[in-house]
Structure 1
Amino acid sequence: MRKKIKLLSVILCVLALTGCNKSSQNELTISVATSLLNPINEIIKEYENENNVKVNINFGGSGTLKSQIENGADVCAYFSANEKFMDELVEKNMVKEDEINVPISNSLVLIKSDKCKYDIKSLKDLLKYDITMAIGQIDTVPAGQYAKESLEKLNIFNEIKDKLVYGKDVSAVKNYVETSEVDLGIVYKSDSLDLKSSQVVLEIPKNLHENINYTLAPINSSEDGKKIIEFINSKYSKKILREYGFLINE
């Protein structure tokens, strides 16, 4: 009898371990632009509840995330804050062009620290004062690229580039302004909805930069990625994205 009980215990233990291993394998990873942090956290939480799966979200600058994917990161879907980086993955045969979604878009705003006393009514007013300003890193952060493009269109980038501080992502730019480490910063409008120690001083005209379209695609035609993307494109998810200030592309 004792032998039978011992054998049964061993079998139950093996089954338990097998179940744990199966559960631990039921995990996915997606890479998402930092500007989408709040809505994607909310959306993926619901996706996990509905699908009994753990989704790890790798947030960062879109260019940094793209480089990680190119270097073999185990990612099933990529949500970029621009079209350029997604196109580069198409060229590397890691994304199929006909699987790319463009679900949302955004715009840029200039925010000012509450401690900054300069009267800024246009981007050209940046030349009037001894300001410090943060933008995203130009090589990896789309918001930084759009900001530079806007300043160049007004022929003022070279005149103020020595006053610029570069953030690793748009959240870092926002934080620099909120903590008064810099006077001003250029961020997405969606990031300006919950400012505590700064304010929006102007919206940057859309004709100064390329359209800010977010692109979403599965990596290597991942079926898991396609399923997550389908959920992000659902009415439920788009409602959340709209609430966080993103423009829905119909």
Structure 2
Amino acid sequence: MTLRLNIRVLVCAVVMLCAPVAQADTPVTVFAAASLKTALDDIAEDWQGNVTLSYAGSGAIARQVAQSAPADLVILANPQWMVWLQDQGIVNPDETRMILGNTLVVIAPAGHDPIAADQPGVLLKTLNGGRLATGQTDSVPAGIYARAWLETAGLWPELSAHLAEAENVRAALAYVARQEAPLGIVYASDAIAEPAVSVVYNVPSDQHPHIRYAAAPLTTEGAAFLDFLDTATARSVFAANGFVPLDPS
């Protein structure tokens, strides 16, 4: 009896030791807003398991998930797209969290002096015939926020015909980094991630809707990774990359 008991104890111990490994080895697929790439790539290296990160504009992600794309966790840069997924019955409102904040900036190729971008004619003059890069103003959150600011500042009428609207904010960032566009409107976190650009104007946060990143798990694996994003390690990475970690809500 003693030998059998010892064997059972040994088997239970082995199972308990192996359980976390099996859980960590379960693949996790995260669909995330393009602006999160630098930070999430760093954070994923500390995740004890297999994680696949797929980045795109939030509108594109929402439509992909609505068409049954295999995501375990969805992180969008505009809560309205998450509400749309909730209305489709795809994500649970009770499991949705606002995890991060951000701010808007105007950027130029590295070394450019600051400009008074809120003054009429300044952006147009600085463009000098070029285009102002940002996300698509009807679907990409960065573009939606950029348009909101331009409208609030009274600059939309003079600039609406001079935009280079990209499929996501990182594409808009690349236009300026490659000097294909003289100016761009992106998130502060994007400017930090790209040494080939300089911030020439910080957009006042009261001149556009609050920038919030909404996250929602679709599986238990996604929920585990979302919990990991709220750890001190992950929050410090987000902060170092220009995001504002929010208390879980």
Which residue is equivalent to 1:42? 42
Which residue is equivalent to 1:249? 246
Q: Structure 1: which amino acid aligns with 2:220?
A: E
Among 80, 94, 108, the alignment partner of 2:90 is 94
Q: Structure 2: which amino acid aligns with 1:59?
A: Y
Answer whether contact 1:63 1:139 (CA < 8 A) is retained.
Answer: no
Matched, 1:113 2:109: yes
Work out the CA distance in 2 between the residues paired with 1:234 and 1:217: 17
Question: Runs of 5+ in structure 1 lacking a partner?
Answer: 1-21
Among 228, 235, 238, the alignment partner of 1:238 is 235
| Equivalences for residues 21-32 of structure 1 within 5 A | 26-32=26-32
Matched, 1:55 2:45: no
Alignment: residue pair count: 221
Answer whether contact 2:173 2:186 (CA < 8 A) is retained.
Answer: yes
Answer whether contact 1:116 1:183 (CA < 8 A) is retained.
Answer: no
Matched, 1:191 2:190: yes
The RMSD of aligned alpha carbons is 2.1
Answer whether contact 2:112 2:198 (CA < 8 A) is retained.
Answer: no
Q: Structure 1: which amino acid aligns with 2:85?
A: L
Matched, 1:74 2:73: no
Q: Tell me, what secondary structure is at the counterpart of 1:89?
A: helix
Change (3 A) 1:115 1:165: farther
For residue 28 of structure 1, report the CA deviation from its aligned partner. Answer: 2.6
Question: Runs of 5+ in structure 2 lacking a partner?
Answer: 1-21
**1:76-133 deviation digits (Å, cap 9, x = unpaired):** 110111111111111111111111111110000000124878x731233224453421
Answer whether contact 1:107 1:206 (CA < 8 A) is retained.
Answer: yes
TM-score normalised to the size of structure 1? 0.82
Q: Tell me, what secondary structure is at the counterpart of 2:45?
A: helix
